[in-house]
Amino acid sequence: MKEKKGVRLEHISKIYKDPKTGKDFYAVQDTTLDIEAGTFVTLLGPSGCGKTTTLRMIAGFESPDEGEIYLGGEAINHLTPNKRDTAMVFQSYALLPHYNVFDNVAYGLKIRKISKEEIRERVMNILKLVEMDGMESRMTNQLSGGQQQRVALARALVLEPGVLLFDEPLSNLDAKLRVSMRTEIRKIQQKVGITAIYVTHDQSEAMSISDKIIIMSKGKVEQIGTPREIYYHPNSRFVADFIGEANFLDARVLSVDGDKARIQVAGKDLQVNNFGGARAGDTAALVIRPEAAVLADKGHLEATVMLSTFMGAYQYYQVQVDGMEIQITDYNPVNRRIYEVGEKAFLDFDSRGVYIL
């Protein structure tokens, strides 16, 4: 493989016309970000947040209205897609229907005027990598969805691009195959050491596959971080809510000491983590992941059980704390007492596992 390349977006914007209102709007607005060479980075966010537009601008299928894109340090806005050192794997596979597997993978090399011998060697190597060797002469309509996606991946990889782009590549596969394919894509990316930028709206896909996740909302980057950083240190309510489940309790910030804060919730004083930069006097939200809390006979905050359901792996509770609803997933509850609807209990949590925003 050739040199792997990093990508930089500098103040990138894309303006579209809303077909309904006829008004211009920012599909992507003033986005600046760096993607390190050799890393697997996912663009994640709700439908319409600008993920695909961002990816397509990197590929050259769309051009930014503002800003500059760099690939391996080189400004590439003026380059057409085929002149960019990128290759894209599409959701729809986009395979050539009247070609067999070999010819589909070889196609991009043929138009680059590479010798027959080299084409054969490179195609066979890549088909082996994606575990499709032995299937060279199959027509693409004789392949399963997963196999078609492997061919699509091989076709991109065989070009040895500096950056590999994925546009929701697994969304046409059934749930089980999606899980196994994502593990394979990650393995292949690590083996080849290529830079990968991957668009998805599936958070578990993003969590499991990425070195870093870029969370987008309404055309802007909300947060960039490793899956752990995004989950444990979300910097906004949007991110906390979008990744995993989160409960929010109204809190008042009493005092702040570095990344710790004393807060008041439901008339109780608590010390918690402060990642969001809250200041004394602020109204904030105490964020509690459902798995970070349990019900107990003693604890931080009084709670009334509204719902108590056995789910096998966990006991699911909905409780009320000072008029606010909290969800709890009590994993492996065999060693704890089960609380029934109507009972009074306490919400117990490790203060290090909760934080304010």
Q: Interface with ligand ATP by CB under 6 A: which residues?
A: 16-17, 27, 45, 47-53, 201
Nearer to ligand ATP, 166 or 248 (CB): 166
Nearer to ligand ATP, 17 or 191 (CB): 17
Contact 244, 231 (CB under 8 A): yes
Nearer to ligand ATP, 243 or 293 (CB): 243
The whole-angstrom separation of Cα 96 and Cα 98 is 6
Nearer to ligand ATP, 17 or 83 (CB): 17
CB of 52 to ligand ATP, least distance (A): 3
CB of 208 to ligand ATP, least distance (A): 18
CB of 84 to ligand ATP, least distance (A): 19
Nearer to ligand ATP, 50 or 161 (CB): 50
CB of 241 to ligand ATP, least distance (A): 17
Q: What is the DSSP letter of 104?
A: H
| Orientation angle between helical segments 116-129 and 145-157, nearest 10 degrees | 130
CB of 240 to ligand ATP, least distance (A): 20
Nearer to ligand ATP, 130 or 230 (CB): 230
Nearer to ligand ATP, 16 or 316 (CB): 16
Amino acid, res. 218: K
CB of 277 to ligand ATP, least distance (A): 27
Amino acid, res. 86: T
Q: Pick from 86, 87, 89: which is nearest to 168 by CA?
A: 89
Nearer to ligand ATP, 18 or 269 (CB): 18
CB of 27 to ligand ATP, least distance (A): 4
CB of 49 to ligand ATP, least distance (A): 4
Size of the chain, expressed as the number of residues it contains = 357
The whole-angstrom separation of Cα 278 and Cα 253 is 7
The whole-angstrom separation of Cα 198 and Cα 221 is 15
Buried b (16+ CB within 10 A) or exposed e, 183-206: eebbebbeebebbbbbbbbbbebb
Nearer to ligand ATP, 35 or 49 (CB): 49
Alpha-carbon distances, residue 228 vs 25, 205, 224 (angstroms): 33, 14, 11
Q: Pick from 126, 130, 125, 147: which is nearest to 138 by CA?
A: 147
Nearer to ligand ATP, 166 or 317 (CB): 166
Burial class (CB in 10 A: 0-12, 13-18, 19+), 218: middle
Q: For the CA atoms of the chain, what is the radius of gyration?
A: 25
Q: Pick from 54, 85, 90: which is nearest to 71 by CA?
A: 85
Backbone angles phi, psi at 34, to 5 degrees: -120, 130
Element (H, E) at 174: none
Say how many C-beta atoms besides its own lie within 10 A of residue 182's C-beta.
21
Percent helix, strand, coil in the chain, to 5, is 25, 35, 35
Helix, strand, or coil (residue 310): strand
